[in-house]
Amino acid sequence: MKLLQFIPIKLTLLLILGITTGYFFDMGVSLPLTLTLLSLTILGFLFFGKKDPKNPVFGLFAAITTLCLGVFIIGIAQPKNDVHHYSNVHDTKKETWKLKVTQVLAPSSFSERFVADVLELNSTKVSGKILLTVPRDSTLKSLNVDDELVVLAKKEEITPSLNPHQFDYKNYMELQGIYHQLKTGPYNSFVLKHPKKTFLGGITTLRNTISTKLKQANFGKDEYGIIQALFLGQRSHISESTYTSYKNAGAVHILAVSGLHIGILLLFLEFLLRPLELLRKGKEVKLFVIVVLLWGFAFLAGLSASVIRAVTMFSFVAYALYLNRPSNTFNILALSMFFILLVINPLLLFHVGFQMSYAAVLAIVWVYPLLQKIWRPKHWLAKKIWQLLSVSIAAQLGVLPISLYYFHQFPGLFFLSNILIVPFLGLILGMGIIVIALVIMDLAPDQSIILYNNMIRLMNTVIDWVAQQEAFIFRNISFDLVQLVLTYAFLIALIWLLHQYTYRKLCAVLVCIIPLQIWSLYKQHQTQRKEQLLVAHQTKNSIVMHRFGDCLTVYTTDSLSSAKIVTDYKIGENIAAINFQPTVNSFNLKNGKFLIIDSLGVYPQWDKQPDYVLLTQSPKINLERLIDSLQPKAVIADGSNYRSYINRWKATCAQRKLPIHYTGEQGCFELDLD
Domain ranges of the chain: 3-77, 86-196, 222-250+415-479, 252-349, 481-528, 531-672
Residue 568: predicted pLDDT: 92
Q: Is the pLDDT of residue 108 over 80?
A: no
Torsion of CA 79, 80, 81, 86, to 10 degrees: 90
Taking residues 341-366, what's their average pLDDT?
87
Angle at 65 between CA 78 and CA 349, to 5 degrees: 40
d(CA 181, CA 158): 6
Nearest to 340 by CA among 329, 354, 327: 354
DSSP run (H or E) holding 125:
strand 124-125
Q: How high does pLDDT run on average in the chain?
A: 86
Share of the chain above pLDDT 90, in %: 30
183-192, 602-611, 618-627: which has the highest mean pLDDT?
A: 618-627
Residue 429: predicted pLDDT: 82
3-state class (DSSP) for residue 116: strand
d(CA 411, CA 413): 6
Taking residues 230-246, what's their average pLDDT?
83
Nearest to 481 by CA among 661, 347, 588, 350: 350
Residue 268: predicted pLDDT: 79
Nearest to 72 by CA among 14, 23, 33: 33
Q: Which residue has the higher pLDDT, 318 or 482?
A: 482
CB 202 within 8 A of CB 208: no
Share of the chain above pLDDT 70, in %: 95
CB 576 within 8 A of CB 550: yes
Nearest to 459 by CA among 478, 439, 432, 480: 432
Contacts of 309 (CB under 8 A, 6+ apart): 258, 259, 336, 337, 340, 348, 354, 357, 358
**167-176, 325-334, 529-538: lowest mean pLDDT where?**
325-334
pLDDT band at 305 (very low <50, low <70, confident <90, very high): low
Q: Which residue has the higher pLDDT, 164 or 604?
A: 164
Q: Is the pLDDT of residue 136 over 80?
A: no
Torsion of CA 635, 638, 642, 644, to 10 degrees: 40
Q: Is the pLDDT of residue 51 over 80?
A: no
- The string of DSSP letters for 319-330 reads HHHHHTS---HH
d(CA 565, CA 538): 9
Taking residues 382-404, what's their average pLDDT?
86
Residue 615: predicted pLDDT: 94
CB 354 within 8 A of CB 303: no
Q: Which residue has the higher pLDDT, 640 or 82?
A: 640
Structurally, what CATH architecture does the domain formed by 86-196 represent? Beta Barrel (2.40)
d(CA 357, CA 398): 9
Q: Is the pLDDT of residue 53 over 60?
A: no
Residue 638: predicted pLDDT: 94
- pLDDT, one tens digit per residue, over 558-591 is 888 899 999 999 999 989 899 999 888 888 877 6
pLDDT band at 606 (very low <50, low <70, confident <90, very high): low
**46-60, 214-228, 628-642: lowest mean pLDDT where?**
46-60
pLDDT band at 533 (very low <50, low <70, confident <90, very high): very high
Taking residues 48-53, what's their average pLDDT?
62
Residue 17: predicted pLDDT: 94
Q: Is the pLDDT of residue 378 over 60?
A: yes
Residue 354: predicted pLDDT: 84
d(CA 465, CA 14): 45
pLDDT band at 1 (very low <50, low <70, confident <90, very high): low
d(CA 376, CA 387): 10
Cα diameter, the chain: 98
pLDDT band at 410 (very low <50, low <70, confident <90, very high): confident
pLDDT band at 92 (very low <50, low <70, confident <90, very high): low
d(CA 571, CA 550): 11
Contacts of 79 (CB under 8 A, 6+ apart): 85, 127, 128, 129, 177, 179
- pLDDT, one tens digit per residue, over 183-228 is 887 778 888 888 888 887 888 888 888 888 888 888 888 888 888 8
Q: Is the pLDDT of residue 106 over 70?
A: yes
Residue 536: predicted pLDDT: 95
d(CA 438, CA 431): 11
- Helices 414-440 & 259-272 angle (0-180, nearest 10): 50
